Chain A
Amino acid sequence: MIEGSGASIEFRGIGKRYGETVALADLDLTIQPGEFVSLLGPSGSGKTTTLNILAGLISADSGSIMIGDTDVTYLSPDRRGIAMVFQNYALYPHMTIAENLAFPLQARGRNLSRLAIKAKVQDVADTLGIGHLLARYPKEISGGQQQRVALGRAMVRDPKVFLLDEPLSNLDARLRLKMRRDLKALHQRLRSTIVYVTHDQSEAMSLSDRIAIYQGGRLQQCGTPADIYRRPANAFVANFMGEREMNNLPGTVVQTGGGVVFKAEGLDLTLPSTLSGWARFHDRAVTLGIRPQGVQIGQRADATQCEAVLRLVEHAGTEQFFYAQAGGVELSGAAAPDTPLAIGDRVSLTLLSRELYLFDTASGAALVQGGDLAA
C-alpha cells in the first residue's frame, strides 16, 4: 500500500523578474498539508513560475519558501522532498517503464536493494493499473498510459509534495475527464499535498480543494472552488471562472423616483427593491456582470427585466445559449433545451438577482458578488 502524508507549503513574499518583466510579484500563499491546490491562470500569469520556484528549477529573487518545517529556498530540487509530473511527462525514452519508475529510487543516497526497488515499482504500477506495461518503452504505450507512468514515477518516492504541471493537457477530452476522476481518487488515497498547474478552470474547479488564480504575475484570489465562483474578488476572476464569459455591461447606478436604475448603453435596468443598496455606487463608473445562466427568458417577479431581440441561438445538448440585443448591449443567456427560440423573436428577459455582480470599472474590484454586497 502506498503510504503518504502531505507537507504544508508556505510562500513568503516570493518575487521573480526577468529584466523589466515581472514574472511573479510578492507572492504570499500557504498550502495546508494534504491539500490539493490548483494554480490557475492564463499563460504568462505566473502560475508556472510559482511551480518552478517551488520545485527549485529556478530561484526566486526575493522571499522564502517553506515545505513543512524546512526552509527550502536554497535547497536543490532533489532535497526538497517533492516530485514533479511534467506537461509532456518527460519520460526517459530509452528506458522501459520499469526502468523509468525505478530511476528515482536508484538515485544517489537512497541505497535501496534491487529487490526493494523491484517491489516498490511493482506496487506503484499496480496502484496505477500499469503493471502489465513494465517491459515496454514509453513510445510503445498510449498517451494516457504515459501519463500514469509519469505519475507513478512521481509517486514512487513517496514525496511529501506532488507538483503537477498541466498533466492532462496532452490528452483528448474524454480521457482527460477520466484522468481527472482518477487523480482525485488518488489524492484522496495518498493525502499528499498536490500543487497542480492548469489553465483550464473546469479542471481546477473539479479537482481542487482550493484554487489560486493568477494574472500578470499576481495572485488574484485563493479560495475554494465555490468561493471563487460565487465570490470572485474582481472582474478578471469572475470572467475567468465558468464555461462561458460573463456579460459585462459598463454603466452607472442612478437613484430615480421609481427606484434604483442601472443605466447601460441604450438600456435602463430597473433593479428590484432587494437591490436598493446599490444606490451607494451612484458616483462611479461600474460594470454589471452576469453569467449566461443568470439571463433567462420570461418574466419573473422581483427580478430585473428587459426586452430584447434574439440574434443567435446555439444548441448545446443539455441547454441552449442565445444572444439577444437589448438596447445598445448584447446579452447572452441560457434556456432549457426544448424552449422554442427563433432568431428575430422579441423576448422578455429576466436577470436573476443572485447572479448579478458589480465591479468597479477602473480597478475591477468586486462591489457586488452574487447579488450580495461585497464584504
Chain B
Amino acid sequence: MMDGQRTPFQAYRYLLPALVLEAGFVFAPLALSLFYSVHRVRYYQLGDFNGVQNYLDVLSHRLFLNSFLVTCSFSLMALALTFAVGFGLALFLNRDTSGSILLRTIVLLPYVIAMLVGSMLLKWIFSTDAGLVPLAAAWFNITSPTILADPDYAMAAMVANGIWRDSAFAMVMLLAGLRSIPPNLILAARIDGAGSFMIFRRIMLPLLRPAILITLIRLLLHFANVLTFPLILTGGGPNNATETLALRIFRIGFEDFDLGKANAMAIVLCLFNIVAVILLLAVFRKTRGGQSL
C-alpha cells in the first residue's frame, strides 16, 4: 500500500535531474526563442510585440526559399554520402587487423579536431592559390576550377567537408552496431550457404536497423543545422549557393542585429528538423521487415 503510493513520487524524483536539465537547456531556450520571435528585437534591445510579422518577413524574403533548398540539398547529399562512406569504412574496419586499427584512428582524426579548425583547413586546401587540390589537379594536368568561387563546386566542397568530418561518426555508430551482431549468426548463414551479399542484405542490414536509424537521424539533424561548414568554408557563397538556413539565422541575428527575425527563423528551422525526422521515420517504417524497432 505504502509502496504503491510512493512509487510515482519516487519515479519522478529519479526523473527530476533529467527534467531539470531538459527544462534548462531545451524548453527554456525554446520558450525564449518563441518569445523573441514575436517581438521586435533590434540591436539586442527588446521592442514591441509584433505578432507573426517576423515570420511573414522571414518567409517572404527573396533568399528564404534559396536557403531552404540549399539546406535540403546539402543535408540530403551530405547525409547520403557520409552514411555511405561511414558504412563502407565500418564494414572494412570491422576486422581487427593491426592495419585497420591504425586506419580507424586516421579516420577518426577529422572528427576529433575542432570543426572550425577543420573547415579552415579545408578552405585552405580548396583555395586556388595555395591549395592542395588545385596543386594535385595541376599534377594531372587538369586546369582546376576555382572551387570556392563556383556555386556548384562550392556546394560540393561543403558536402566534402561534411563527409570528411562526419564519416567517422557514422563509422563509429555503425561499427558498434556491427559488433553487436552475434558472430554465430554470420557463421550460421555461411553454413546455410549464403554468400557475402546475401549475408549482408538478409542478416547484417536488418540487424543494423537500429544503429542505421540512429546514425541517420543524428547525421540529418547535424547537417540540417550545421553552421560551421558554410560560415567558415564557403561564407554562404558564391551567389548564396551555400547559404543554409542556419547561416541565414546567424547573419540576420548577428550581422543585421535582428534577433526577432533570427528567432522566428530558428523556430522555422526547428519545425523543419521535426518534419525531417518524421519523414525519415516514415521512410524507415515503410521498409521495416516486421520486427519491432
Task: Tell which of B148-156, B157-165, B192-200 binds the partner.
Answer: B192-200
Asked, given contacts A84-B188, A86-B188, A90-B187, whether A157 binds B193 with beta carbons under 8 Å apart, the answer is: yes
Q: Is the CB of A82 within 8 A of B191?
A: yes
Q: Is the CB of B185 within 8 A of A108?
A: no
> What does DSSP make chain B's interface, helix, strand, loop or mixed?
helix
For the complex, is B184 an interface residue (Cβ under 8 Å from A)?
Answer: yes
B194 to chain A, nearest CB (A): 5
Q: Is the CB of B182 within 8 A of A90?
A: yes
For the complex, is B289 an interface residue (Cβ under 8 Å from A)?
Answer: yes
Residue of B nearest to A79 (CB): B193
For the complex, is B277 an interface residue (Cβ under 8 Å from A)?
Answer: no
Residue of A nearest to B199 (CB): A107
Residues of chain B within 8 A of A88, CB atoms compared:
182, 184
Asked, given contacts A94-B291, A96-B290, A137-B291, whether A78 binds B188 with beta carbons under 8 Å apart, the answer is: no
Residue of B nearest to A83 (CB): B191
Q: Is the CB of B195 within 8 A of A77?
A: no
Residues of chain B within 8 A of A104, CB atoms compared:
192-194
For the complex, is B179 an interface residue (Cβ under 8 Å from A)?
Answer: no
For the complex, is B115 an interface residue (Cβ under 8 Å from A)?
Answer: no
For the complex, is A148 an interface residue (Cβ under 8 Å from B)?
Answer: no
Q: Is the CB of A94 within 8 A of B289?
A: yes
Q: Is the CB of A84 within 8 A of B191?
A: yes
Residues of chain B within 8 A of A82, CB atoms compared:
191
| A89-128 near B? 1/0 per residue, CB < 8 Å | 0101111100000011011111000000000000000000
Q: Is the CB of B188 within 8 A of A90?
A: yes
> What does DSSP make chain A's interface, helix, strand, loop or mixed?
loop
For the complex, is B202 an interface residue (Cβ under 8 Å from A)?
Answer: yes
A56 to B206, alpha carbons, bound, how many Å?
Answer: 26
Between-chain CB contacts (< 8 Å), 20 pairs = A77-B187, A78-B190, A78-B191, A78-B194, A88-B184, A90-B184, A90-B185, A92-B189, A92-B202, A93-B291, A103-B189, A103-B194, A106-B198, A107-B194, A107-B195, A108-B195, A110-B193, A137-B290, A137-B291, A157-B192
Q: A77-B190, A78-B193, A84-B188 are in contact. List 19 more A-B contacts (CB 8 A).
A: A77-B187, A78-B195, A86-B184, A86-B187, A90-B182, A90-B188, A92-B185, A92-B188, A93-B207, A93-B291, A94-B206, A94-B209, A94-B289, A94-B291, A103-B192, A106-B198, A107-B195, A107-B198, A153-B188
Q: What residues make up the interface of B, taking CB atoms closer than 8 Å to A?
A: 182, 184-185, 187-195, 198, 202-203, 206-207, 209, 289-291
The 4 closest A-B pairs by CB, nearest first: A107-B193, A78-B193, A90-B188, A104-B192
